[in-house]
Amino acid sequence: MAGREKSFGGRYRLVCVGGTFDQLHKGHETLLRAAASLGKRVVVGLCSDEMAEKEKNYRVQPFEKRRRKLEVFLAKVAGGRFKVVRISDTLGSAKDMEELEAIVVSPQTLRGALMINHARRRRGLQPLDIVVVRLVVDDMGRVLSSTRIRRLLEQNQGKEVTPKPWGEKALK
C-alpha cells in the first residue's frame, strides 16, 4: 500500500469496492467484509444492467435485485456505513471521488484498480491505496465465481446450489 496516513484505528475514512455481484457468494462476502473492516465508510459500485450485459457472457440478475441482496448483506457487516452506487464503466465514480482513500479488489479485478489510479492521476487526484483480497476456493480448489454457480444452478435444474468454500478460508 502507498504511504497515505490513515485515520483513527488504522482505518481509511472512505474505501470503495465494485463489481457485478451476481449470485452473491462467499468470495463476494470476503471482499465486502474486507472493505467494511478497512473503512469507516464504504462505497460499493454496482454494475448497471447495461454494463453487466457487455461484461458477462450470460444474463445477470436485474440491478435492483442485486442491489437489494447486496444491501441486506452490507447492513449485517457494515451497519449504515455503506452506500451502493450504480456504475456504468470500469472506472465508475472512483476516478472522480476526491475523498476516496482505498479500493478493495481481488486478483481478478486488480487491473481495474490500476486503471482507476491512472485516471485519478490524470485528473490530479491522489491515487488510491489498493488492497488485494485473496480469492476464495471451493472444496475442490476451484475459485468461487458467479459463472460457476450459475452453471451449477443450470445443471441442477434451477435448484439453488452454492459451492462450499474450501475450509471457509481464502486461498493463500
First to last CA, the chain: 18
For position 164, what pLDDT does the model report?
Answer: 46
For position 169, what pLDDT does the model report?
Answer: 43
Residue owning grid cell 472522480:
96
Q: What are phi and psi for residue 97, nearest 5 degrees?
A: -80, 100
For position 151, what pLDDT does the model report?
Answer: 62
For position 11, what pLDDT does the model report?
Answer: 84
Domain boundaries, the chain: 11-136
The pLDDT tens digits along the chain (172 residues) read 444 443 333 489 999 999 999 888 888 999 999 999 999 999 999 999 999 888 776 678 999 999 999 999 999 999 999 999 999 999 999 999 999 999 999 998 999 999 999 999 999 999 999 999 988 777 777 666 656 655 666 666 655 544 445 444 443 3
CATH architecture observed for domain 11-136: 3-Layer(aba) Sandwich (3.40)
C-alpha angle with apex 154: 149 to 156, nearest 5 degrees? Answer: 95
- Residue 167 near residue 138, CB atoms below 8 Å: no
